Amino acid sequence: MRTFSDMVGDRWTLALTLPAIRRIKAALDVDLLEVIEGKHLDRLTRDIGFLCDVIYLLCKPEADARNLSAEQFGERIAGDVIDAAAAALAGAITDFFPKAQRPVVERLSAIANQAMERAADAALERLDPERVETAMRQAIEQVLAGSPAPAPRTSGDSSTTASACSDLKPAS
């Protein structure tokens, strides 16, 4: 079992078990057993909302015992806590599989983390400070002139639109 502490200091235990896998599958239509095939690791590393939903579902029995809803749990998960919870999840996933399969899961997890780091580096390289500053000045000028500010532009990537620990509903 792996643990992490939330933003208020409460400690949570992550253990990947068959009931937890079934709970995740029922709520998110995702079979975490497929990580051994390389599935879902990419989404877990790039989609914070999905990651937090999986973590909540693993912690759901503890959350229920503490009378915390998914939303209340989500309010306690941000920043460094996400990193700690993700590390605990990676460990819990690895611990679930038999010893002979663990190196495969560990390697897949390392590859997913490297890909996430490369994507973040590439995003930083694409940032053009002059373009960002110009866009900010234009938005401020529009607001000061009484025009509504333009809506923020997103890439359409689920990581920019997902809300962590959203109201979970079983998949239909």
Query: What confidence tens digit (pLDDT) does each residue in 56-112 have?
Result: 999 999 999 999 999 999 999 999 999 899 889 988 988 888 888 878 877 877 776
Structure tokens at 170: 């079983």
Phi, psi of 11 (to 5 degrees): -95, 135
Range 23-29, long-range pairs (CB < 8 A, 24+ positions): 23/57, 23/60, 24/54, 24/57, 24/58, 25/171, 26/170, 26/171, 27/53, 27/57, 27/168, 27/169, 27/170, 27/171, 28/53, 28/54, 28/57, 28/168, 28/171, 29/171
Q: Residue 149 — pLDDT band, cuts 50, 70, 90?
A: low
pLDDT in the model for residue 11: 97
Rounded CA gap, 158 and 48, in Å?
9
pTM for the model: 0.68
Q: Residue 159 — pLDDT band, cuts 50, 70, 90?
A: very low
Rounded CA gap, 45 and 159, in Å?
10
Rounded CA gap, 84 and 79, in Å?
9
Rounded CA gap, 27 and 60, in Å?
12
Phi, psi of 117 (to 5 degrees): -65, -40
Q: Residue 158 — pLDDT band, cuts 50, 70, 90?
A: very low
Most confident of 29-33, 37-41, 44-48, 137-141: 29-33
